Chain A
Amino acid sequence: MTVGTAVTVAVTGMNALPDNPGPGLAVARCLREAYGDNIRIVGLSYDALDPGLYLHEYCDSAHLLSYPRNGAAAILARLVEIQMQEKIDVLIPCLDSELPVMVSLAPRLLEMGIRTFLPSAEQLERRAKDRLPELSEIAGVLCPQIHRLTSPGFFKTCEPEGWLYPLVVKGVFYDAKVVHNPEEATAVFNMIASQWGLPVIAQRFVAGEEYNLTAVGDGKGNLLGEVMMKKRAITAKGKAWVGIAIHDDALAATARRLASALNWKGPLEVEAMRDSKGRYQLIEINPRFPAWIYLSLGVGRNLPALLLELALGHATPPLSPPQPGTMFIRYAQETIIPLAAFEALMIDGKRTQPNLRILP
């Protein structure tokens, strides 16, 4: 790695919850293992109980942000405060819901000395769940049909129109559930709408197996360092608990066509179903690293480190060839925190010292 002097990197998404972890802690872990003590990592999150904020082996300090729903001005004001203390060089946002705000703030952040490596607002919009069929057609990629919904009435009338159950009901940012009848679909619609807002998306169900790919787009149409994974065990929320690295040229080609069509800049995760004919059908493009990004380090393609080099304007390091068969198993463990650390985050919105060890 080519970072020569200590660099300070802020990483969001420290909500490393066992059944549905945010990617931030895994990103921080990749960076720590690449750069050791030659990097300062600032953990950013939205809730004082987000576990990554307390793990000082990965986050030298931690700060709370204002939620994205409070608007760009509130987040910027908070980042200005944090920047005065931390002198952040690079910010890596890791949550879908904050990406639109962070993209809009990128020029202002650069003026403050904070670099990013993010897509444009247009690129971000073009890969949104409700625009995937349009993008797929341009890229020459298969994609199930979708319907943008603002009310659940569709679910009672959809079958005569050829929309047969099961269907997949999704939120704009998060959540996707397979539904089997109008009643179930309506309940899921209401749950997702109340949590993530409108529109809610109905997508045709594709039978098959899900595969995931993560990589970094260079903003010039190229995709760097593809790492592919199949989930071997999932949590109750459908998130990977065990995953195995694979390599399929067809999946890589699918992702490259999408990145080229978008001129994608920044990290991404492509989710695709391999149908009964062995064809990949695009399900989602997430505009950030996935929670399983630590596997990229495991296969010799440390993508958060690659992103950091790109953000700093350095030459990208050579990457190992794919190593299919490398697995990860996620586990949950407890960390002990003194009350003072929790108090600091609750009252001051920050933790700047390592947690003091509690002795018996």
Chain B
Amino acid sequence: MENLSIAQPPHPPIVSLSQRLTLCDSGFVFDPVTGNSSTVNPTGMAIIRQLQQNSNLKQAVTALQKNFKVQSRVAERDFIEFTNLLWNHFR
């Protein structure tokens, strides 16, 4: 996995990938370029929304901490692992 420091913005390809995704409030995700679809839980939805807003890692982690009442390192780990999953599923 790519080693992101807290100050780094998310990797640009995952940002551009996330910005093309259709994310429904139900957690259904559709990629109009590949035709692939999936479902995500509320944490996944929150991470995709952060990516779609072009948030950097620090901003995303802060938002996740606030929404889910978790420690910074947990939010950071979830963010990095989920973006990796997202990239592998939809790229």
Instruction: Give me the interface of A with B, judged by CB distance under 8 Å.
Output: 209, 211, 229-230, 232, 244-248, 274, 278, 324-325
- Tell whether B91 is near chain A: CB-to-CB under 8 Å: yes
* Inter-subunit contact B34/A325 (CB<8 Å): no
Query: From residue A177, how far is it (CB to closest CB) to chain B in Å?
Result: 24
Given A278-B91, A325-B22, is A232 in contact with B34 using a C-beta cutoff of 8 Å? no
- For the complex, give the distance between the alpha carbons of A245 and B22 in Å: 14
**Are B32 and A246 neighbours in the complex by a CB distance under 8 Å?**
yes
Q: Which of A229, A232, A248 contacts B33 (CB 8 A)?
A: A248
Contact between B34 and A230, CB atoms less than 8 A apart: yes
Write out the residue numbers on chain B whose beta carbons fall within 8 Å of the beta carbon of A211: 35
What is the bound-complex CA distance between A248 and B30, given in angstroms? 14
Assembly CA distance A291 to B27 (angstroms): 33
Closest-by-CB residue of B relative to A250 is: B33
Contact A325 B32 (CB under 8 A): yes
List A contacts of B33 (CB < 8 A). Answer: 246-248, 324
A246 near B22: Cβ-Cβ < 8 Å: no
Within 8 A of A (CB), among B47-63: none
**B22-51 residues at the A interface, CB under 8 angstroms:** 22, 30, 32-37
Chain B nearest CB, measured from A351 CB (Å): 39
Chain A residue with Cβ nearest B32: A324
Neighbouring A residues of B34 by C-beta, 8 Å: 209, 230, 246, 248, 274
Q: Which residues in B have their C-beta under 8 angstroms from that of A278?
A: 91
Using a CB–CB distance below 8 Å, which chain B residues touch chain A? 22, 30, 32-37, 91
Instruction: Using A325-B22, A325-B30 as known contacts, say yes or no to A244 and B35 having CB atoms under 8 A apart.
Output: yes
19 contacts between A and B (CB under 8 A): A209-B34, A230-B34, A230-B35, A232-B35, A244-B35, A244-B37, A245-B35, A246-B32, A246-B33, A246-B34, A246-B35, A247-B32, A248-B33, A248-B34, A274-B34, A278-B91, A324-B32, A325-B22, A325-B32
Q: How far is the CA of A211 from the CA of B33 in the complex (A)?
A: 10
Residues on A with C-beta less than 8 A from B91 are: 278
Q: Report the minimum CB–CB distance from A345 to chain B (whole Å).
A: 39
Further 15 A-B residue pairs, CB within 8 A, beyond A230-B34, A248-B34: A211-B35, A229-B35, A230-B35, A232-B35, A245-B35, A246-B33, A246-B34, A247-B32, A247-B33, A248-B33, A278-B91, A324-B33, A324-B35, A325-B22, A325-B30
A57 to B33, CA, bound (A): 35
Query: Which residues of chain B come closer than 8 Å to A247, judged between CB atoms?
Result: 32-33
With both beta carbons as reference points, the residue of chain A lying nearest to B37 in the complex is identified as A244
Q: Whole-angstrom distance between the alpha carbons of A183 and B91 in the complex?
A: 36
Give the docked Cα–Cα distance between A274 and B30 (Å): 18
**How far is it, in angstroms, between the C-alpha of A150 and the C-alpha of B91 when the chains are bound?**
40
Chain A min CB distance to B18 (Å): 16
Contacting residues, chain B, for A244 (C-beta < 8 A): 35, 37
**Complex Cα distance A13/B34, Å?**
30
- What is the CA–CA distance of A247 and B30 in the complex, to the nearest angstrom? 12
CA distance A294 to B35 in the complex (A): 18
> Which residues from chain A contact B30 at a C-beta distance below 8 Å?
324-325
Name which residue of chain A comes closest to B13, CB basis: A278
Write the chain B residue with the least CB distance to A322. B32
How far, in whole Å, are A324 and B31 apart by their CA atoms in the complex?
A: 9
Which residues of chain A are within 8 angstroms of B22 by Cβ–Cβ distance? 325
Closest Cβ–Cβ distance, residue B34 to chain A (whole Å):
7
Cα-based distance from A257 to B40 in the complex (angstroms):
38
Q: B16 to chain A: closest CB distance in Å?
A: 12
A229 CA / B32 CA spacing, docked (Å): 10
